[in-house]
Structure 1
Amino acid sequence: MPKGYLAIVLHAHLPFIRHPEHEDFLEEDWLFEAITETYIPLIKVFDGLVKDGVDFRLTISISPTLMSMFMDEHLQDKYIRHINKLIELSWKEIDRTRWEPSFFKLAHMYHNGFLECRRVFVDEYKKDLNNAFKHFQDLGKIEVITCGATHGYFPLMEVERPASVRAQVKVAADLYRKVYGKTPLGMWLPECGYNPGDEEALKEEGIKYFFVDTHGILFGTPRPRFGVFSPYLCKNGVAVLGRDMETSKAVWSAVEGYPGDYNYREFYRDIGFDLDYEYVKPYINPDGVRINTGIKYYKITGAGNHKEPYNPEAARDTAAYHAGNFMFNREKQVEFLQGRMGDRAPILVSPYDAELYGHWWYEGPQWLDFLIRKIRYDQETVALATPGDYLKLYKKYQILAPAYSSWGWKGYSEVWLEGSNDWVYRHVHKMTERMVEAANTYKNANGLLRRALNQMA
Structure 2
Amino acid sequence: MNEINSKKNVLGQLAIVLHAHLPYVRKNEKNSLEEDWLFQAILECYIPLLQAIESSKKENPSNTKLTISLSPTLLSLLKNKQIQETFPNWIKTRNDLLSELPQKEKNASIFLMKNINDRYLYWQECSGNLIERFNILNKSGNLDILTCAATHGYLPILRENPETVKGQINTAIRNHENIFGNKPYGIWLPECAYYENLDEILYDSGIRYAILDGHGILNATPRPRYGVYAPICSKKGIAFFGRDSESTLPVWSAKDGFPGDKVYREFHKDLGWELPSSKLQNKGISTKRPLGLKFHKITNENVPLGEKEFYLENEAINKAAEHADAYLVARSKQLEKLTLSSSFNPLLVAPFDAELFGHWWYEGPFFIKNILKNSSKYSIKLTNLKEFLIQKPNLQICEPSPSSWGQGGYHNYWINDSNAWIVPEITKAGSTFVDLCSKNFNNDLSKRLFNQAARELLLSESSDWSFILRAGTTTELAKERIERHLFRFWKLVEMIKNYSKINLKFLEDIEEEDKVFPDINIDDWRR
State the distance in 2 between where 1:123 and 1:274 align.
33
Corresponding residue for 1:39? 46
Structure 1 residue 278: Cα displacement: 3.6
**Is the CA contact 1:264–1:300 (under 8 Å) kept in the aligned structure 2?**
yes
> 347-356 or 383-392: which moved more?
383-392
State the distance in 2 between where 1:358 and 1:412 align.
28
Counterpart code for 2:11? K
State the distance in 2 between where 1:257 and 1:3 align.
24
For residues 149-228 of structure 1, the aligned pairs below 5 Å read: 149-160=150-161, 162-228=162-228
1:251–1:446 CA distance, 2 compared to 1 (3 A) = farther
State the distance in 2 between where 1:52 and 1:338 align.
29
- Once the two structures are superposed, residues 399-446 of structure 1 have per-residue CA deviations (whole angstroms, 9 ceiling, x without a partner) of 01000101111111110001222222111110000111122213x555
Corresponding residue for 2:448? 451
**Is the CA contact 2:47–2:122 (under 8 Å) kept in the aligned structure 1?**
yes
Corresponding residue for 1:410? 408
Q: Among 18, 39, 43, which residue is 1:10 paired with?
A: 18
State the distance in 2 between where 1:122 and 1:445 align.
45
TM-score, structure 2 normalization: 0.81
Runs of 4+ in 1 over 6 A off after TM superposition: none
State the distance in 2 between where 1:370 and 1:264 align.
16
Corresponding residue for 1:30? 37
Tell me, what secondary structure is at the counterpart of 1:368? helix
State the distance in 2 between where 1:230 and 1:132 align.
31
Select the structure that is richer in helix: 2
- Once the two structures are superposed, residues 48-88 of structure 1 have per-residue CA deviations (whole angstroms, 9 ceiling, x without a partner) of 22333444000000110001111111111122221222233
1:193–1:85 CA distance, 2 compared to 1 (3 A) = same
- Once the two structures are superposed, residues 143-176 of structure 1 have per-residue CA deviations (whole angstroms, 9 ceiling, x without a partner) of 110000110001111321x211111111111011
State the distance in 1 between where 2:308 and 2:393 align.
55
State the distance in 1 between where 2:442 and 2:285 align.
41
For residues 239-258 of structure 1, the aligned pairs below 5 Å read: 239-258=239-258
> 128-137 or 219-228: which moved more?
128-137
For residues 66-77 of structure 1, the aligned pairs below 5 Å read: 66-77=74-85
Corresponding residue for 1:268? 268
State the distance in 2 between where 1:445 and 1:249 align.
55
**Is the CA contact 1:217–1:242 (under 8 Å) kept in the aligned structure 2?**
yes
Q: Among 382, 385, 389, which residue is 2:383 paired with?
A: 385
Counterpart code for 1:329? A
Tell me, what secondary structure is at the counterpart of 1:235? coil
Corresponding residue for 1:398? 396
> 5+ residue gaps in structure 2?
1-6, 455-527
1:328–1:395 CA distance, 2 compared to 1 (3 A) = closer
**Is the CA contact 2:262–2:299 (under 8 Å) kept in the aligned structure 1?**
yes
1:246–1:283 CA distance, 2 compared to 1 (3 A) = farther
**Is the CA contact 1:284–1:291 (under 8 Å) kept in the aligned structure 2?**
no
1:189–1:262 CA distance, 2 compared to 1 (3 A) = same
State the distance in 2 between where 1:385 and 1:50 align.
13
- Once the two structures are superposed, residues 232-270 of structure 1 have per-residue CA deviations (whole angstroms, 9 ceiling, x without a partner) of 111111100110010111111232111001110101111
Corresponding residue for 2:125? 123
- Once the two structures are superposed, residues 299-348 of structure 1 have per-residue CA deviations (whole angstroms, 9 ceiling, x without a partner) of 10112213111111111111111100000000011111112331x21111
Corresponding residue for 2:328? 327
Counterpart code for 2:341? R
Q: Among 86, 91, 113, which residue is 1:78 paired with?
A: 86
Corresponding residue for 1:112? 114
State the distance in 2 between where 1:350 and 1:446 align.
49
Structure 1 residue 109: Cα displacement: 1.7
Counterpart code for 1:137? N
Tell me, what secondary structure is at the counterpart of 1:144? strand
State the distance in 1 between where 2:235 and 2:60 align.
41
> 5+ residue gaps in structure 1?
none
Corresponding residue for 1:87? 95
**Is the CA contact 1:54–1:373 (under 8 Å) kept in the aligned structure 2?**
no
State the distance in 2 between where 1:105 and 1:144 align.
40
**Is the CA contact 2:27–2:34 (under 8 Å) kept in the aligned structure 1?**
no
Structure 1 residue 23: Cα displacement: 2.8
**Is the CA contact 1:284–1:290 (under 8 Å) kept in the aligned structure 2?**
no
**Is the CA contact 2:60–2:373 (under 8 Å) kept in the aligned structure 1?**
no
State the distance in 2 between where 1:387 and 1:123 align.
30
> 2-11 or 22-31: which moved more?
22-31
State the distance in 2 between where 1:445 and 1:310 align.
63
Counterpart code for 1:28? E
**Is the CA contact 1:406–1:412 (under 8 Å) kept in the aligned structure 2?**
yes
**Is the CA contact 2:49–2:365 (under 8 Å) kept in the aligned structure 1?**
yes
**Is the CA contact 2:13–2:382 (under 8 Å) kept in the aligned structure 1?**
yes
- Once the two structures are superposed, residues 215-237 of structure 1 have per-residue CA deviations (whole angstroms, 9 ceiling, x without a partner) of 10111100111000001111111
State the distance in 2 between where 1:283 and 1:40 align.
25
**Is the CA contact 2:193–2:404 (under 8 Å) kept in the aligned structure 1?**
yes
Counterpart code for 2:113? H
Counterpart code for 1:34? A
State the distance in 1 between where 2:399 and 2:26 align.
40
**Is the CA contact 1:155–1:194 (under 8 Å) kept in the aligned structure 2?**
yes
Q: In the comparison of the two structures, how many residue pairs are matched? A: 442
